[in-house]
Structure 1
Protein backbone atom coordinates (compact mmCIF):
# COMPACT_ATOMS: atom_id res chain seq x y z
CA UNK A 1 0.00 0.00 0.00
CA UNK A 2 2.82 2.46 0.83
CA UNK A 3 5.20 1.37 -1.92
CA UNK A 4 6.46 4.66 -3.47
CA UNK A 5 7.64 3.10 -6.73
CA UNK A 6 5.41 3.35 -9.84
CA UNK A 7 4.52 -0.35 -9.86
CA UNK A 8 1.49 -2.36 -8.73
CA UNK A 9 -0.98 0.40 -9.66
CA UNK A 10 0.46 3.17 -7.52
CA UNK A 11 -2.28 5.71 -8.49
CA UNK A 12 -4.97 3.28 -7.33
CA UNK A 13 -3.16 2.51 -4.08
CA UNK A 14 -2.62 6.17 -3.31
CA UNK A 15 -6.24 6.98 -4.19
CA UNK A 16 -7.38 4.37 -1.67
CA UNK A 17 -5.02 5.65 1.04
CA UNK A 18 -6.12 9.24 0.44
CA UNK A 19 -9.83 8.45 0.65
CA UNK A 20 -9.44 6.21 3.69
CA UNK A 21 -7.54 9.02 5.37
CA UNK A 22 -10.40 11.41 4.60
CA UNK A 23 -12.70 9.23 6.71
CA UNK A 24 -10.81 10.33 9.81
CA UNK A 25 -11.47 13.96 8.87
CA UNK A 26 -15.23 13.50 8.71
CA UNK A 27 -17.10 16.52 10.00
CA UNK A 28 -14.36 18.98 9.01
CA UNK A 29 -14.99 19.05 5.26
CA UNK A 30 -17.81 18.73 2.77
CA UNK A 31 -18.99 15.12 2.34
CA UNK A 32 -18.75 13.92 -1.26
CA UNK A 33 -20.08 10.70 -2.79
CA UNK A 34 -16.69 9.00 -2.50
CA UNK A 35 -16.55 9.79 1.22
CA UNK A 36 -19.83 8.21 2.29
CA UNK A 37 -19.51 5.39 -0.24
CA UNK A 38 -16.12 4.46 1.23
CA UNK A 39 -17.56 4.76 4.73
CA UNK A 40 -20.32 2.31 3.81
CA UNK A 41 -17.73 -0.21 2.65
CA UNK A 42 -16.02 -0.08 6.02
CA UNK A 43 -19.34 -0.56 7.80
CA UNK A 44 -19.35 -4.05 6.30
CA UNK A 45 -15.84 -4.72 7.62
CA UNK A 46 -16.85 -4.51 11.26
CA UNK A 47 -15.98 -8.16 11.84
CA UNK A 48 -12.52 -7.63 10.35
CA UNK A 49 -11.83 -4.41 12.24
CA UNK A 50 -13.04 -5.76 15.59
CA UNK A 51 -10.75 -8.77 15.21
CA UNK A 52 -7.64 -6.64 14.76
CA UNK A 53 -7.30 -6.56 18.54
CA UNK A 54 -7.90 -10.32 18.73
CA UNK A 55 -5.10 -10.96 16.23
CA UNK A 56 -2.71 -8.59 18.01
CA UNK A 57 -3.49 -10.19 21.39
CA UNK A 58 -3.05 -13.74 20.08
CA UNK A 59 0.20 -12.78 18.37
CA UNK A 60 1.56 -11.11 21.50
CA UNK A 61 0.65 -14.24 23.50
CA UNK A 62 2.67 -16.43 21.15
CA UNK A 63 -0.38 -18.17 19.61
CA UNK A 64 -0.92 -20.15 22.78
CA UNK A 65 -3.69 -22.80 22.92
CA UNK A 66 -5.56 -20.55 25.33
CA UNK A 67 -6.08 -17.90 22.65
CA UNK A 68 -9.79 -17.52 23.45
CA UNK A 69 -8.94 -15.35 26.43
CA UNK A 70 -8.30 -12.59 23.89
CA UNK A 71 -11.90 -12.71 22.67
CA UNK A 72 -14.95 -10.82 23.82
CA UNK A 73 -14.59 -12.16 27.35
CA UNK A 74 -11.30 -10.27 27.67
CA UNK A 75 -11.26 -7.29 30.07
CA UNK A 76 -10.08 -5.23 27.10
CA UNK A 77 -13.28 -5.81 25.11
CA UNK A 78 -13.90 -2.02 24.83
CA UNK A 79 -10.96 -1.88 22.42
CA UNK A 80 -12.64 -4.38 20.09
CA UNK A 81 -15.94 -2.54 20.43
CA UNK A 82 -14.30 0.81 19.57
CA UNK A 83 -12.74 -0.67 16.43
CA UNK A 84 -16.09 -2.21 15.46
CA UNK A 85 -18.05 0.99 16.05
CA UNK A 86 -15.53 3.27 14.32
CA UNK A 87 -17.03 2.94 10.78
CA UNK A 88 -20.54 3.50 12.13
CA UNK A 89 -19.36 6.55 14.05
CA UNK A 90 -17.69 7.97 10.93
CA UNK A 91 -20.92 7.58 8.95
CA UNK A 92 -22.89 9.16 11.79
CA UNK A 93 -20.61 12.21 11.73
CA UNK A 94 -20.85 12.39 7.94
CA UNK A 95 -24.64 12.31 8.10
CA UNK A 96 -24.69 15.14 10.64
CA UNK A 97 -22.30 17.16 8.49
CA UNK A 98 -24.45 16.62 5.40
CA UNK A 99 -27.50 17.79 7.35
CA UNK A 100 -25.61 20.88 8.52
CA UNK A 101 -24.70 21.72 4.93
CA UNK A 102 -28.02 20.94 3.22
CA UNK A 103 -30.63 21.08 6.04
CA UNK A 104 -32.24 17.94 4.60
CA UNK A 105 -33.85 15.90 7.37
CA UNK A 106 -33.17 12.67 5.46
CA UNK A 107 -29.50 12.90 6.45
CA UNK A 108 -30.44 12.94 10.13
CA UNK A 109 -32.70 9.92 9.56
CA UNK A 110 -29.78 8.16 7.93
CA UNK A 111 -27.57 9.15 10.85
CA UNK A 112 -30.06 7.60 13.23
CA UNK A 113 -29.49 4.27 11.48
CA UNK A 114 -25.79 4.35 12.31
CA UNK A 115 -26.48 5.53 15.84
CA UNK A 116 -28.76 2.56 16.44
CA UNK A 117 -26.04 0.32 15.01
CA UNK A 118 -23.52 1.60 17.54
CA UNK A 119 -25.95 0.90 20.39
CA UNK A 120 -26.70 -2.61 19.13
CA UNK A 121 -23.00 -3.48 18.86
CA UNK A 122 -22.37 -2.08 22.33
CA UNK A 123 -24.91 -4.45 23.87
CA UNK A 124 -23.58 -7.31 21.72
CA UNK A 125 -20.03 -6.93 23.03
CA UNK A 126 -21.29 -6.38 26.56
CA UNK A 127 -23.44 -9.52 26.34
CA UNK A 128 -20.52 -11.56 25.01
CA UNK A 129 -18.29 -10.22 27.80
CA UNK A 130 -20.80 -11.27 30.47
CA UNK A 131 -20.70 -14.88 29.26
CA UNK A 132 -23.72 -14.86 26.94
CA UNK A 133 -26.25 -15.24 29.74
CA UNK A 134 -29.94 -15.09 28.89
CA UNK A 135 -30.63 -12.02 30.97
CA UNK A 136 -31.30 -8.31 30.62
CA UNK A 137 -28.30 -7.67 28.40
CA UNK A 138 -29.40 -10.41 26.04
CA UNK A 139 -32.90 -8.94 25.80
CA UNK A 140 -31.53 -5.43 25.17
CA UNK A 141 -29.18 -6.72 22.50
CA UNK A 142 -32.03 -8.53 20.71
CA UNK A 143 -34.26 -5.46 20.95
CA UNK A 144 -31.75 -2.95 19.61
CA UNK A 145 -30.42 -5.33 16.97
CA UNK A 146 -33.93 -5.99 15.70
CA UNK A 147 -34.55 -2.22 15.47
CA UNK A 148 -31.23 -1.72 13.70
CA UNK A 149 -31.88 -4.52 11.20
CA UNK A 150 -35.37 -3.21 10.34
CA UNK A 151 -34.03 0.34 10.13
CA UNK A 152 -31.11 -0.60 7.88
CA UNK A 153 -33.12 -2.93 5.64
CA UNK A 154 -35.77 -0.30 5.07
CA UNK A 155 -33.16 2.31 4.20
CA UNK A 156 -31.37 -0.11 1.84
CA UNK A 157 -34.50 -0.86 -0.14
CA UNK A 158 -36.34 2.46 -0.05
CA UNK A 159 -33.46 4.96 -0.24
CA UNK A 160 -30.23 3.32 -1.39
CA UNK A 161 -31.88 1.11 -4.03
CA UNK A 162 -35.21 2.94 -4.52
CA UNK A 163 -37.12 -0.29 -5.01
CA UNK A 164 -40.48 -1.51 -3.64
CA UNK A 165 -42.34 0.86 -5.98
CA UNK A 166 -45.94 -0.23 -6.46
CA UNK A 167 -46.54 1.22 -9.92
CA UNK A 168 -43.54 0.02 -11.88
CA UNK A 169 -43.02 -2.02 -15.01
CA UNK A 170 -41.52 -4.77 -12.87
CA UNK A 171 -43.45 -5.31 -9.60
CA UNK A 172 -41.70 -3.97 -6.48
CA UNK A 173 -38.78 -2.53 -8.46
CA UNK A 174 -38.11 1.02 -9.59
CA UNK A 175 -39.57 2.49 -12.81
CA UNK A 176 -36.16 2.44 -14.50
CA UNK A 177 -33.61 -0.35 -14.26
CA UNK A 178 -30.23 -0.73 -15.92
CA UNK A 179 -29.72 -4.46 -15.52
CA UNK A 180 -32.84 -5.21 -17.54
CA UNK A 181 -31.45 -8.57 -18.71
CA UNK A 182 -31.16 -9.81 -15.12
CA UNK A 183 -34.48 -8.89 -13.51
CA UNK A 184 -34.64 -12.03 -11.26
CA UNK A 185 -31.40 -10.90 -9.59
CA UNK A 186 -33.17 -7.81 -8.28
CA UNK A 187 -35.61 -9.96 -6.34
CA UNK A 188 -32.80 -12.23 -5.14
CA UNK A 189 -30.89 -9.17 -3.93
CA UNK A 190 -33.92 -7.79 -2.06
CA UNK A 191 -34.55 -11.08 -0.27
CA UNK A 192 -30.91 -11.91 0.49
CA UNK A 193 -30.21 -8.36 1.69
CA UNK A 194 -32.98 -8.64 4.30
CA UNK A 195 -31.89 -12.12 5.41
CA UNK A 196 -28.26 -11.11 5.90
CA UNK A 197 -29.33 -8.00 7.80
CA UNK A 198 -30.91 -10.40 10.30
CA UNK A 199 -27.97 -12.83 10.37
CA UNK A 200 -27.43 -11.96 14.05
CA UNK A 201 -30.18 -14.44 15.00
CA UNK A 202 -27.54 -17.06 14.15
CA UNK A 203 -25.79 -16.13 17.43
CA UNK A 204 -28.79 -16.81 19.67
CA UNK A 205 -28.91 -20.65 19.92
CA UNK A 206 -26.75 -21.98 22.74
CA UNK A 207 -26.05 -25.21 20.88
CA UNK A 208 -24.53 -25.46 17.45
CA UNK A 209 -21.30 -24.20 15.86
CA UNK A 210 -18.68 -22.40 17.90
CA UNK A 211 -19.33 -18.68 18.38
CA UNK A 212 -16.08 -17.77 16.61
CA UNK A 213 -17.21 -19.77 13.59
CA UNK A 214 -20.63 -18.12 13.68
CA UNK A 215 -19.16 -14.63 13.73
CA UNK A 216 -16.86 -15.53 10.85
CA UNK A 217 -19.80 -16.79 8.77
CA UNK A 218 -21.77 -13.68 9.65
CA UNK A 219 -18.88 -11.40 8.73
CA UNK A 220 -18.35 -13.20 5.42
CA UNK A 221 -22.02 -12.98 4.49
CA UNK A 222 -22.07 -9.29 5.38
CA UNK A 223 -19.16 -8.59 3.03
CA UNK A 224 -20.97 -10.48 0.25
CA UNK A 225 -24.12 -8.49 1.00
CA UNK A 226 -22.20 -5.24 0.65
CA UNK A 227 -20.64 -6.43 -2.62
CA UNK A 228 -24.14 -7.06 -3.93
CA UNK A 229 -25.41 -3.80 -2.46
CA UNK A 230 -22.81 -1.82 -4.42
CA UNK A 231 -24.25 -2.73 -7.81
CA UNK A 232 -27.75 -1.49 -7.05
CA UNK A 233 -26.58 1.49 -5.01
CA UNK A 234 -24.41 2.75 -7.87
CA UNK A 235 -27.22 2.06 -10.31
CA UNK A 236 -29.57 4.20 -8.23
CA UNK A 237 -26.95 6.96 -7.99
CA UNK A 238 -26.45 6.92 -11.76
CA UNK A 239 -30.19 7.14 -12.45
CA UNK A 240 -30.47 10.00 -9.97
CA UNK A 241 -27.66 11.85 -11.73
CA UNK A 242 -29.42 11.35 -15.06
CA UNK A 243 -32.68 12.74 -13.68
CA UNK A 244 -30.85 15.86 -12.48
CA UNK A 245 -28.81 16.20 -15.69
CA UNK A 246 -25.52 15.72 -13.89
CA UNK A 247 -24.24 13.10 -16.32
CA UNK A 248 -24.97 14.84 -19.62
CA UNK A 249 -23.27 17.64 -21.49
CA UNK A 250 -26.51 19.01 -22.94
CA UNK A 251 -29.44 20.27 -20.87
CA UNK A 252 -32.74 20.28 -22.85
CA UNK A 253 -34.14 23.72 -23.55
CA UNK A 254 -37.60 24.60 -22.14
CA UNK A 255 -38.92 25.45 -25.64
CA UNK A 256 -38.90 23.94 -29.14
CA UNK A 257 -36.15 24.98 -31.48
CA UNK A 258 -36.54 24.44 -35.24
CA UNK A 259 -33.35 24.99 -37.23
CA UNK A 260 -35.22 24.74 -40.55
CA UNK A 261 -37.46 27.74 -39.82
CA UNK A 262 -34.80 29.72 -38.05
CA UNK A 263 -34.85 33.44 -38.85
CA UNK A 264 -31.81 35.63 -39.02
CA UNK A 265 -30.75 37.19 -35.75
CA UNK A 266 -31.28 40.87 -35.18
CA UNK A 267 -27.57 41.31 -34.69
CA UNK A 268 -26.91 40.35 -38.33
CA UNK A 269 -29.53 42.86 -39.54
CA UNK A 270 -27.98 45.49 -37.37
CA UNK A 271 -24.59 44.81 -38.90
CA UNK A 272 -26.02 45.22 -42.41
CA UNK A 273 -27.73 48.50 -41.41
CA UNK A 274 -24.51 49.81 -39.94
CA UNK A 275 -22.65 48.87 -43.12
CA UNK A 276 -25.30 50.66 -45.25
CA UNK A 277 -25.12 53.77 -43.12
CA UNK A 278 -21.39 53.79 -43.34
CA UNK A 279 -21.58 53.83 -47.16
CA UNK A 280 -24.00 56.78 -47.11
CA UNK A 281 -21.76 58.65 -44.70
CA UNK A 282 -18.83 58.14 -46.96
CA UNK A 283 -20.85 59.55 -49.89
Structure 2
Protein backbone atom coordinates (compact mmCIF):
# COMPACT_ATOMS: atom_id res chain seq x y z
CA UNK A 1 0.00 0.00 0.00
CA UNK A 2 2.96 2.33 0.53
CA UNK A 3 5.70 3.15 -1.94
CA UNK A 4 8.41 2.79 0.72
CA UNK A 5 7.12 -0.70 1.62
CA UNK A 6 7.06 -1.82 -2.00
CA UNK A 7 10.58 -0.50 -2.54
CA UNK A 8 11.78 -2.30 0.61
CA UNK A 9 10.28 -5.55 -0.69
CA UNK A 10 11.79 -5.19 -4.17
CA UNK A 11 15.19 -4.28 -2.73
CA UNK A 12 15.33 -7.23 -0.34
CA UNK A 13 14.03 -9.71 -2.89
CA UNK A 14 16.70 -8.58 -5.35
CA UNK A 15 19.34 -9.05 -2.64
CA UNK A 16 18.25 -12.68 -2.36
CA UNK A 17 19.24 -13.21 -5.99
CA UNK A 18 22.71 -11.83 -5.24
CA UNK A 19 23.34 -13.77 -2.04
CA UNK A 20 27.00 -14.26 -1.31
CA UNK A 21 28.00 -10.90 -2.76
CA UNK A 22 27.15 -8.78 0.28
CA UNK A 23 26.95 -9.07 4.04
CA UNK A 24 23.89 -10.99 5.24
CA UNK A 25 21.73 -9.00 7.65
CA UNK A 26 18.67 -10.11 9.59
CA UNK A 27 16.23 -8.87 6.95
CA UNK A 28 18.09 -10.88 4.29
CA UNK A 29 17.91 -14.32 5.87
CA UNK A 30 14.48 -13.61 7.36
CA UNK A 31 13.15 -12.87 3.87
CA UNK A 32 14.93 -15.98 2.61
CA UNK A 33 13.10 -18.08 5.19
CA UNK A 34 9.79 -16.71 3.96
CA UNK A 35 10.62 -17.83 0.43
CA UNK A 36 11.50 -21.30 1.69
CA UNK A 37 7.80 -21.69 2.52
CA UNK A 38 6.87 -20.79 -1.07
CA UNK A 39 8.34 -23.98 -2.57
CA UNK A 40 4.84 -25.12 -3.56
CA UNK A 41 4.15 -21.83 -5.34
CA UNK A 42 7.51 -21.63 -7.09
CA UNK A 43 7.51 -25.27 -8.20
CA UNK A 44 4.06 -24.86 -9.72
CA UNK A 45 4.97 -21.82 -11.81
CA UNK A 46 5.98 -24.12 -14.64
CA UNK A 47 2.74 -26.12 -14.44
CA UNK A 48 0.65 -22.94 -14.39
CA UNK A 49 2.41 -21.77 -17.54
CA UNK A 50 1.90 -25.18 -19.13
CA UNK A 51 -1.82 -25.16 -18.36
CA UNK A 52 -2.33 -21.71 -19.84
CA UNK A 53 -0.30 -22.64 -22.91
CA UNK A 54 -2.14 -25.94 -23.39
CA UNK A 55 -5.59 -24.67 -22.58
CA UNK A 56 -7.79 -25.01 -19.52
CA UNK A 57 -9.84 -28.00 -20.55
CA UNK A 58 -9.96 -31.71 -19.79
CA UNK A 59 -6.37 -32.19 -20.99
CA UNK A 60 -4.71 -29.82 -18.50
CA UNK A 61 -3.71 -32.69 -16.19
CA UNK A 62 -1.13 -33.91 -18.65
CA UNK A 63 1.07 -31.03 -17.49
CA UNK A 64 1.34 -32.68 -14.06
CA UNK A 65 0.73 -36.37 -14.72
CA UNK A 66 3.53 -36.85 -17.22
CA UNK A 67 6.07 -34.00 -16.98
CA UNK A 68 8.82 -36.15 -18.50
CA UNK A 69 12.25 -34.52 -18.58
CA UNK A 70 10.69 -31.14 -17.75
CA UNK A 71 10.51 -32.10 -14.06
CA UNK A 72 13.95 -30.51 -13.72
CA UNK A 73 12.45 -27.06 -14.28
CA UNK A 74 10.06 -27.54 -11.37
CA UNK A 75 12.87 -28.85 -9.20
CA UNK A 76 15.12 -25.86 -9.94
CA UNK A 77 12.32 -23.45 -9.10
CA UNK A 78 11.48 -25.33 -5.89
CA UNK A 79 15.09 -25.55 -4.70
CA UNK A 80 15.92 -21.90 -5.49
CA UNK A 81 14.94 -20.57 -2.00
CA UNK A 82 16.89 -23.38 -0.32
CA UNK A 83 19.90 -22.64 -2.50
CA UNK A 84 19.71 -18.95 -1.56
CA UNK A 85 19.65 -19.78 2.15
CA UNK A 86 22.54 -22.22 1.70
CA UNK A 87 24.65 -19.50 0.07
CA UNK A 88 23.68 -17.05 2.80
CA UNK A 89 24.72 -19.51 5.50
CA UNK A 90 28.10 -20.06 3.86
CA UNK A 91 28.56 -16.31 3.52
CA UNK A 92 27.77 -15.78 7.20
CA UNK A 93 30.29 -18.47 8.10
CA UNK A 94 32.95 -16.77 5.97
CA UNK A 95 32.29 -13.45 7.72
CA UNK A 96 32.03 -14.75 11.29
CA UNK A 97 33.73 -18.18 11.27
CA UNK A 98 30.93 -19.53 13.45
CA UNK A 99 30.39 -23.22 12.75
CA UNK A 100 26.70 -22.73 13.57
CA UNK A 101 26.11 -21.15 10.17
CA UNK A 102 27.56 -24.18 8.39
CA UNK A 103 25.29 -26.46 10.41
CA UNK A 104 22.37 -24.30 9.36
CA UNK A 105 23.55 -24.50 5.75
CA UNK A 106 23.56 -28.29 6.02
CA UNK A 107 19.85 -28.13 6.75
CA UNK A 108 19.15 -26.40 3.45
CA UNK A 109 21.51 -28.73 1.61
CA UNK A 110 19.58 -31.74 2.90
CA UNK A 111 16.37 -30.01 1.83
CA UNK A 112 17.63 -29.69 -1.74
CA UNK A 113 18.42 -33.41 -1.82
CA UNK A 114 14.99 -34.17 -0.38
CA UNK A 115 13.23 -32.24 -3.14
CA UNK A 116 15.47 -33.80 -5.78
CA UNK A 117 14.34 -37.33 -4.92
CA UNK A 118 10.77 -36.12 -4.42
CA UNK A 119 10.57 -34.89 -8.02
CA UNK A 120 12.34 -38.01 -9.25
CA UNK A 121 9.72 -40.08 -7.46
CA UNK A 122 6.95 -37.95 -8.95
CA UNK A 123 8.48 -38.34 -12.42
CA UNK A 124 8.23 -42.12 -12.03
CA UNK A 125 4.53 -41.83 -11.29
CA UNK A 126 4.76 -42.31 -7.53
CA UNK A 127 5.75 -45.96 -7.76
CA UNK A 128 7.22 -47.89 -4.85
CA UNK A 129 10.87 -48.61 -5.50
CA UNK A 130 14.43 -47.59 -4.65
CA UNK A 131 13.77 -43.90 -5.41
CA UNK A 132 10.79 -43.96 -3.07
CA UNK A 133 12.88 -45.45 -0.24
CA UNK A 134 15.68 -42.92 -0.72
CA UNK A 135 13.16 -40.11 -0.79
CA UNK A 136 11.62 -41.28 2.50
CA UNK A 137 15.07 -41.45 4.12
CA UNK A 138 16.07 -37.94 3.08
CA UNK A 139 12.59 -36.59 3.88
CA UNK A 140 12.83 -37.97 7.42
CA UNK A 141 16.32 -36.55 7.82
CA UNK A 142 15.24 -33.11 6.58
CA UNK A 143 12.13 -33.02 8.77
CA UNK A 144 14.08 -33.93 11.93
CA UNK A 145 16.92 -31.57 11.00
CA UNK A 146 14.66 -28.60 10.28
CA UNK A 147 12.25 -29.29 13.16
CA UNK A 148 15.06 -29.50 15.71
CA UNK A 149 16.60 -26.29 14.35
CA UNK A 150 13.24 -24.50 14.65
CA UNK A 151 12.79 -25.43 18.29
CA UNK A 152 16.37 -25.19 19.54
CA UNK A 153 17.87 -22.37 17.47
CA UNK A 154 15.20 -20.25 15.79
CA UNK A 155 12.88 -20.28 18.82
CA UNK A 156 15.35 -21.16 21.63
CA UNK A 157 12.76 -23.36 23.32
CA UNK A 158 13.08 -26.67 25.22
CA UNK A 159 15.11 -25.08 28.02
CA UNK A 160 15.48 -27.48 31.00
CA UNK A 161 14.95 -25.03 33.87
CA UNK A 162 12.35 -22.66 32.40
CA UNK A 163 9.37 -21.54 34.52
CA UNK A 164 7.11 -23.19 31.92
CA UNK A 165 8.28 -26.69 30.92
CA UNK A 166 9.90 -26.99 27.48
CA UNK A 167 9.86 -23.23 26.94
CA UNK A 168 12.46 -20.55 27.75
CA UNK A 169 12.99 -18.32 30.82
CA UNK A 170 12.00 -15.10 29.04
CA UNK A 171 8.70 -14.91 27.18
CA UNK A 172 7.08 -11.90 25.56
CA UNK A 173 3.68 -13.46 24.88
CA UNK A 174 2.95 -14.09 28.55
CA UNK A 175 -0.81 -14.03 28.04
CA UNK A 176 -0.77 -16.80 25.42
CA UNK A 177 1.35 -19.55 26.94
CA UNK A 178 -0.69 -22.35 25.27
CA UNK A 179 0.28 -20.88 21.89
CA UNK A 180 3.90 -21.95 22.47
CA UNK A 181 2.92 -25.58 23.02
CA UNK A 182 0.52 -25.48 20.08
CA UNK A 183 3.31 -24.12 17.87
CA UNK A 184 5.76 -26.81 19.01
CA UNK A 185 3.38 -29.66 18.19
CA UNK A 186 2.02 -28.29 14.91
CA UNK A 187 5.46 -27.24 13.68
CA UNK A 188 6.78 -30.80 14.00
CA UNK A 189 3.65 -32.32 12.48
CA UNK A 190 3.70 -30.02 9.45
CA UNK A 191 7.41 -30.69 8.99
CA UNK A 192 6.37 -34.31 8.37
CA UNK A 193 3.52 -33.39 6.02
CA UNK A 194 5.30 -35.29 3.24
CA UNK A 195 3.84 -38.55 4.61
CA UNK A 196 0.55 -37.26 3.20
CA UNK A 197 1.84 -38.23 -0.26
CA UNK A 198 2.53 -41.88 0.58
CA UNK A 199 -0.97 -43.50 0.66
CA UNK A 200 -2.05 -44.67 -2.75
CA UNK A 201 -5.73 -44.22 -1.95
CA UNK A 202 -7.24 -40.93 -0.94
CA UNK A 203 -7.48 -37.42 -2.36
CA UNK A 204 -6.02 -36.54 -5.71
CA UNK A 205 -2.28 -35.93 -5.73
CA UNK A 206 -2.72 -32.32 -6.80
CA UNK A 207 -5.16 -31.70 -3.95
CA UNK A 208 -2.66 -33.21 -1.49
CA UNK A 209 0.03 -30.90 -2.79
CA UNK A 210 -2.22 -27.89 -2.37
CA UNK A 211 -3.11 -28.87 1.22
CA UNK A 212 0.57 -29.40 2.04
CA UNK A 213 1.46 -25.97 0.62
CA UNK A 214 -1.33 -24.30 2.60
CA UNK A 215 -0.25 -25.96 5.87
CA UNK A 216 3.35 -24.91 5.24
CA UNK A 217 2.21 -21.29 4.86
CA UNK A 218 0.34 -21.55 8.17
CA UNK A 219 3.40 -23.09 9.82
CA UNK A 220 5.58 -20.23 8.63
CA UNK A 221 2.99 -17.73 9.89
CA UNK A 222 3.29 -18.95 13.48
CA UNK A 223 7.04 -19.47 13.06
CA UNK A 224 7.42 -15.73 12.39
CA UNK A 225 6.02 -14.73 15.77
CA UNK A 226 8.39 -16.89 17.79
CA UNK A 227 11.38 -16.23 15.53
CA UNK A 228 11.03 -12.46 15.85
CA UNK A 229 10.47 -12.79 19.58
CA UNK A 230 13.68 -14.79 19.94
CA UNK A 231 15.59 -12.26 17.83
CA UNK A 232 14.35 -9.41 20.01
CA UNK A 233 15.36 -11.20 23.21
CA UNK A 234 18.77 -11.93 21.68
CA UNK A 235 19.21 -8.23 20.93
CA UNK A 236 18.36 -7.45 24.54
CA UNK A 237 20.99 -9.90 25.79
CA UNK A 238 23.58 -8.25 23.53
CA UNK A 239 22.52 -4.74 24.66
CA UNK A 240 21.33 -3.75 21.19
CA UNK A 241 17.87 -2.84 22.46
CA UNK A 242 16.31 -2.38 25.87
CA UNK A 243 13.04 -3.40 27.45
CA UNK A 244 13.08 -0.40 29.83
CA UNK A 245 10.09 1.93 29.43
CA UNK A 246 11.03 5.65 29.11
CA UNK A 247 10.16 7.79 32.13
CA UNK A 248 7.31 10.30 31.68
CA UNK A 249 9.61 13.19 32.61
CA UNK A 250 13.09 14.43 31.76
CA UNK A 251 16.04 14.63 34.11
CA UNK A 252 16.80 18.12 32.76
CA UNK A 253 13.52 19.64 33.92
CA UNK A 254 13.86 21.60 37.20
CA UNK A 255 11.80 20.26 40.08
CA UNK A 256 10.70 21.77 43.38
CA UNK A 257 13.17 19.63 45.31
CA UNK A 258 16.06 20.65 43.10
CA UNK A 259 15.19 24.33 43.60
CA UNK A 260 15.43 23.93 47.35
CA UNK A 261 18.74 22.17 47.02
CA UNK A 262 20.05 24.99 44.82
CA UNK A 263 18.99 27.54 47.43
CA UNK A 264 20.80 25.58 50.11
CA UNK A 265 23.90 25.45 47.93
CA UNK A 266 23.75 29.23 47.37
CA UNK A 267 23.35 29.83 51.10
CA UNK A 268 26.34 27.61 51.87
CA UNK A 269 28.48 29.29 49.21
CA UNK A 270 27.55 32.76 50.56
CA UNK A 271 28.51 31.73 54.08
CA UNK A 272 31.78 30.31 52.80
CA UNK A 273 32.65 33.56 51.02
CA UNK A 274 31.81 35.57 54.15
CA UNK A 275 34.07 33.34 56.22
CA UNK A 276 36.93 33.86 53.78
CA UNK A 277 36.54 37.65 53.91
CA UNK A 278 36.38 37.55 57.68
CA UNK A 279 39.45 35.36 57.81
CA UNK A 280 41.41 37.87 55.72
CA UNK A 281 40.25 40.94 57.65
CA UNK A 282 40.62 39.73 61.23
CA UNK A 283 40.10 36.92 63.60
CA UNK A 284 37.34 34.50 63.02
CA UNK A 285 35.76 35.11 66.38
CA UNK A 286 35.65 38.88 65.94
CA UNK A 287 34.06 38.69 62.52
CA UNK A 288 31.66 36.05 63.65
CA UNK A 289 30.60 38.23 66.52
CA UNK A 290 30.16 41.14 64.12
CA UNK A 291 27.97 39.00 61.92
CA UNK A 292 25.89 37.99 64.93
CA UNK A 293 25.48 41.65 65.99
CA UNK A 294 24.43 42.55 62.49
Normalised by the size of structure 1, how large is the TM-score? 0.84
Kindly state the Cα deviation for residue 249 of structure 1 after the two structures are TM-superposed. Answer: 10
The reply on whether 1:79 has 2:73 as its aligned counterpart is yes
Q: What does 1:1-283 align with in structure 2 at a 5 Å threshold?
A: 8-71=1-64, 73-75=66-68, 76-248=70-242
**Contact preservation (8 Å) 1:73, 1:129:** yes
CA distance in 2, matches of 1:224, 1:102: 33
Deviation at 1:248, TM superposition (A): 3.8
| Residue 254 of structure 1: aligned partner | none
- The 8 Å contact of residues 24 and 88 in structure 2, kept in 1 or not, is answered as yes
Q: Distance in 1 between matches of 2:55 and 2:205?
A: 22
Task: Mark the runs of 5 or more structure 2 residues left unpaired by the alignment.
Answer: 245-294
Measured after TM superposition, the shift of residue 201 of structure 1 is: 0.3
Which stretch shows the higher mean deviation, 57-66 or 217-226? 57-66
* 2:288 match: none
Poorly superposed stretches of 4+, deviation over 6 Å: none
Distance 1:182 1:137 in 2: 44
Separation (CA, whole Å) in 2 of partners of 1:226 and 1:73:
31
Q: Could you say which residue in structure 2 is the equivalent of 1:276? A: none
The alignment's TM-score, normalised by the length of structure 2, stands at 0.81
Deviations 1:84-105 (A, max 9, x none): 0000000000000000000000
**CA–CA distance in structure 1, aligned partners of residues 148 and 88 of structure 2:** 20
CA deviation vs aligned residue, 1:15-35 (integer Å, no higher than 9, x gap): 101100000010000000000
How far apart, CA to CA, are the structure 1 residues paired with 2:142 and 2:218?
19
Aligned length: 243
CA distance in 2, matches of 1:218, 1:180: 31
For the residue of structure 2 that corresponds to 1:71, the secondary structure is: helix
Q: Is the 8 A contact 1:54 1:71 kept in 2?
A: yes
Query: What do the CA deviations read for 1:36-65 (whole angstroms, capped 9, x no partner)?
Result: 000000000000010110100100112231
SS at 1:178 equivalent: coil
